């Protein structure tokens, strides 16, 4: 397993838990607003061994409730099931942050995890623009169905990139998501990053969140809507 680093403590990445975060190296997507492009290259070696990760969290059993496996894309790791079981074996709850393009991996680890943060980047028709990959939206929605049909708690979140998404796109995405059981839908503001050569204006970023009709519609469509 290729571990790129870890965060010893977070209160925001695993709802209602005090957690640590493990970042895995490698991601097959090329999202235009990616804040961790250094984690995309799967061929790059990790900075920590898995034994070091286990040793680190073994000493924090009484301080933390859970561990978040993130990336990159954690489900790229061939031994992700072992990673989940190792963390679970320490007595922690386990969360996964994923792009959703590995539905069979989700199905494999689902009995051992406690929460999933699923990135749904765009309506199906625009998925290639927000992921840098063709023909993957079906995989994401297959993962969504697996989660929706299970008893696991999860969140769907979408980053509202005004350079690629419009208000109409979010209405379309909502219509595609409504048929699934989604405990929480989170809208995330676009954040500029180093190398962002053509950043949108703040007014463009805020336009989604200041559209009262859109927000009201989403509040009606989903069990819980979160704005971040």
Residue 197: the pLDDT is 87
* Whole-number Å distance between alpha carbons of 61 and 191: 34
Give residue-wise pLDDT tens across range 200-224: 999 999 999 999 999 999 999 999 9
Residue 44: the pLDDT is 92
In this prediction, the residues of the chain whose per-residue pLDDT falls under 70 are none
88 CB-contact burial (10 Å; exposed 0-12 / middle 13-18 / buried 19+): middle
Residue 194: the pLDDT is 85
Q: Which of 96, 81, 83, 1 lies closest to 45, judged by CA?
A: 1
Residue 125: the pLDDT is 97
End-to-end CA distance of the chain: 32
Domain locations along the chain: 3-227
Tell me the pairing of strands 225-227 and 153-160.
unpaired
Let me know if domain 3-227 sits in CATH 3.10.20.30: no
Global pTM reads 0.97
Residues whose CB is less than 8 angstroms from the CB of residue 182 and which lie 6 or more positions away in sequence, other chains included: 144, 148, 154, 155, 156, 222, 223
* Concatenated DSSP letters of 43-77: TSPPSB-HHHHHHHHHTTTTT-SEEEEESS-GGGS
């Amino acid at each position: 397993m290729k571990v790129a680093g870890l965060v010893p403590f977070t209160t925001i990445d695993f709802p209602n838990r005090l957690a640590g975060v493990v970042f895995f190296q490698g991601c097959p997507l090329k999202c235009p607003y990616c804040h961790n492009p250094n984690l995309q290259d799967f061929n790059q070696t990790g900075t920590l061994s898995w034994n070091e990760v286990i040793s680190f969290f073994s000493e924090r059993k009484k301080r933390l409730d859970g561990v978040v496996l993130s990336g990159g894309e954690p489900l790229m790791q061939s031994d992700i099931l072992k990673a989940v079981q190792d963390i679970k074996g320490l007595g922690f709850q386990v969360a996964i942050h994923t792009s959703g393009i590995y539905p069979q991996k989700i199905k494999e680890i689902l009995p051992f995890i406690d929460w999933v943060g699923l990135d749904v980047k765009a309506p199906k028709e625009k998925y290639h623009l927000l992921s840098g990959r063709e023909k993957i939206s079906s995989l994401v929605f297959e993962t969504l169905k697996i989660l929706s049909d299970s008893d696991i708690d999860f969140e769907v979140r979408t980053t509202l990139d005004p350079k690629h998404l419009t208000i109409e796109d979010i209405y379309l995405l909502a219509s595609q998501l409504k048929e699934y059981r989604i405990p929480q839908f989170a809208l995330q503001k676009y954040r500029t990053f180093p190398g962002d050569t053509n950043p949108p204006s703040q007014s463009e970023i805020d336009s989604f969140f200041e559209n009262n009709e859109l927000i009201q519609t989403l509040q009606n469509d989903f069990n819980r809507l979160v704005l971040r």
